[in-house]
A and B are shown apart, each in its own frame.
Chain A
Amino acid sequence: MGSTALIMMLVTWSLIIFFTSYFFTKALKNQGRHNSGSPDDDDN
């Protein structure tokens, strides 16, 4: 595989994997705070 193609691929993959796991982990950490279905939080 050519080095330019390899660099393009690895940089893109790293960026996407980093942001996906970063945002997903952050959302999971706050799992209990929001969207948990607890009735006392219902302001509708």
Chain B
Amino acid sequence: MSQQKERWASRIGLILAVAGNAVGLGNFLRFPAQAIDNGGGAFIIPYLISFALMGIPLLWVEWAIGRHGGQYGHHSTPGMLDVLGKSPLFKYFGVFGIFTNLVVAAYYCYIESWTLGYVWFSITGAFNGMNTDQVAQHFKNYLDSGQGNFLNLPGTAFIFFGITVTLNLWILSKGISAGIEKASKILMPLLLVFGVFLAIRALTLTEGTMGAQHDAIEGLNFLWTPNFNSLWDPKVWLAAAGQIFFTLSVGMGSIQCYAAYLRKKDDIALNSVSAGFTNEFVEVVLGGSVVIPIAVAYLGLASLTSFSGFGMSFMTLPNLFQYWGPVFSVIGGVVWFGLLFFAGITSSLAMGQPVMAFFQDSFNIPRKKSVFIFGALVIILAIPTIILYDHGAFDEFDFWAGTFSLVVFALAESIIFIWIFGIDKAWEEINRGADIKIPIFFKYVLKYVTPTFILIIFLGSLISPVGGEWSQAFSQLFSGNGWPLAPDSVIGKIFHIGVEDRDNIWVTNLTRMLLMSVYLLFGYLTYKAWKLKLKKEK
């Protein structure tokens, strides 16, 4: 493997880059929806417990795997798992860390480009004079969705997607410290300023001001009123653990990649909790204080009954901002969609680096060329998600790469690192150079609790019942009426449960074959890279 001399230039830059990787669109759009659906204020209890017992330990595991692999010149997960020893097959598990980043980057850059497009529409006043239905229709037109055509061919969306990908590639081409780190140092503080601005604006909306029909604080009341009965519901615990899992961007291979540019004795214990808590601040404090209060101020509590973060963000908020007057509606739109764009791009950059590092390490391809290869692959993979959007290609990418693979990989890496590499060596690795003393209690959490948490999430996703109603599902099973498998469970997805449109089944099967091919391609490239390495060593 090639010895790369790239390093982070500063500790604050590294923490902001890792926090930027974790802070994404989900912090503002997914978290509030999950909290509303799962017991309001009571949701935060399993959420914080999951953060302490699964989230933080998993962050330590990933940082430690990354820094350890980096000492051997590996900056992507196939090599990192390979040097943990014991089996030559580990590196093929590590392929998940390339596959996931590449596939997620393809559709994530597309969503990111929507936010950039909406910044532009806000500046140009495209929503002026539109009513709620027209704003919602604008979003469908933008995606060329629901028009009755087999293919979605959204011209404007293609342009903004091209700009977004180019911007990502330009930053990635600058390298770790001059590209990713510099961008994070500019974008993360801006994101925080925009978030605080919007939260203050949202929470100070009272009935009668700026066209508000209700006090925004009613939204916060709804979000935080605890339903303690929900704590006995397995659905709530699974949702909370799942939210922690996805918000921290664990199971992707990007944290490991960033940590690989550290030195052997650099701290990882404090860095990882700093980045993790920064993400929690953005998610819980800011993420819960923007969309819901604004929605309730203008549309009332009824707007939260079937709350969708994405729908509210792109199809409703641009309309509500118009109540703020000609100047503030532009500012509101630019700040909101700008905030989402910053959250998105700091995450997509983290997806690019591991893929590029794989080509750089394994085949000695220079950074500029690896940027070009990554860009080409992202565009090729994004095309089906764009043109077959209405047939579910986008959702297939999100489910298999953005959800299922993360859990599988996190489970595999935690077992390999903690149980096979060994808890004693793993503990030593995590604590080397540490600027905080991690309580010994976490050694046992790492060994038993964290893998169990991930295993439960994995099993839960395989057979999750309709509506996540586990108690009902078990009573149905024991009364001999079978298991009510949810359409969005892994098994439900595999067998297309609930899908009636034959076109959609055909498209989803093709999409799955494409995703499988991507995994096999990188598996083959890993095989070739190691063959090449052995040849060189001889």
Contact of A2 among B48, B73, B221, B262 (CB under 8 A): B221
Which residues on A sit within 8 Å (CB–CB) of B223? 5
Give the docked Cα–Cα distance between A23 and B15 (Å): 11
B263 touching A41, Cβ below 8 Å = yes
Encode B271-292 as 1/0 by CB contact (under 8 A) with A.
1011001101100110000000
B459 to chain A minimum Cβ distance, whole angstroms, is: 29
Name B's interface SS.
Answer: helix
Query: Once bound together, how far apart are the Cα atoms of A23 and B272, in whole Å?
Result: 10
Kindly state the interface size class of chain A when it binds its partner.
Answer: 20 to 34
Chain B, range 217-236, C-beta contacts under 8 Å to A: 217-218, 220-221, 223-226
B217 with A1: CB separation less than 8 A: yes
Pairwise interchain contact B41-A37, C-beta atoms closer than 8 A: no
In the assembly, what is the distance between CA of A19 and CA of B40, in Å? 23
Binds A, one of B6-14, B139-147, B320-328, B500-508: B6-14
Instruction: Give the contacting residue for B263; candidates A2, A12, A27, A42; CB below 8 A.
Output: A42
* Contacting residue for B277 out of A8, A20, A33, A35, CB 8 A: A20
B424 within 8 A of A: no
Please determine whether A37 and B8 come into contact, CB atoms closer than 8 angstroms.
yes
Given A5-B221, A41-B263; A27-B11 close (CB under 8 Å): yes
Chain A: which residue is nearest B276 at the CB level?
A23
Nearest CB to that of B267 among chain A residues? A34
- Assess the B10–A19 pair: CB atoms within 8 A: no
Chain A at the B interface: SS class = helix
Which residues from chain A contact B280 at a C-beta distance below 8 Å? 16, 20
Chain B contributes a number of interface residues (CB within 8 A of A) equal to 45
Give complex CA distance A35, B478 in Å. Answer: 57
The answer to whether B175 has its CB under 8 Å from any CB of chain A is no
Closest beta carbon of chain B to A36's beta carbon, Å:
7
Knowing A20-B278, A27-B271, A44-B264 touch, does A35 contact B225 (C-beta < 8 A)?
A: no
Report if A27-B15 is in contact (Cβ < 8 Å); known contacts: A1-B217, A34-B433, A43-B265: yes
Bound complex: CA A2 to CA B267 (Å): 43
| Chain B residue at minimal CB-CB distance from A15 | B48
From B11, B40, B277, B285, give the contact of A34 (CB < 8 A): B11
- Which residue of the partner chain, among B40, B263, B270, B273, contacts A43 with CB atoms under 8 Å? B263
Q: 5 closest Cβ contacts across the A-B interface?
A: A8-B41, A35-B11, A5-B224, A20-B277, A5-B225
Residues of A within 8 A of B (CB): 1-2, 4-6, 8-9, 12-13, 15-17, 19-20, 23-24, 26-28, 30-31, 33-37, 41-44
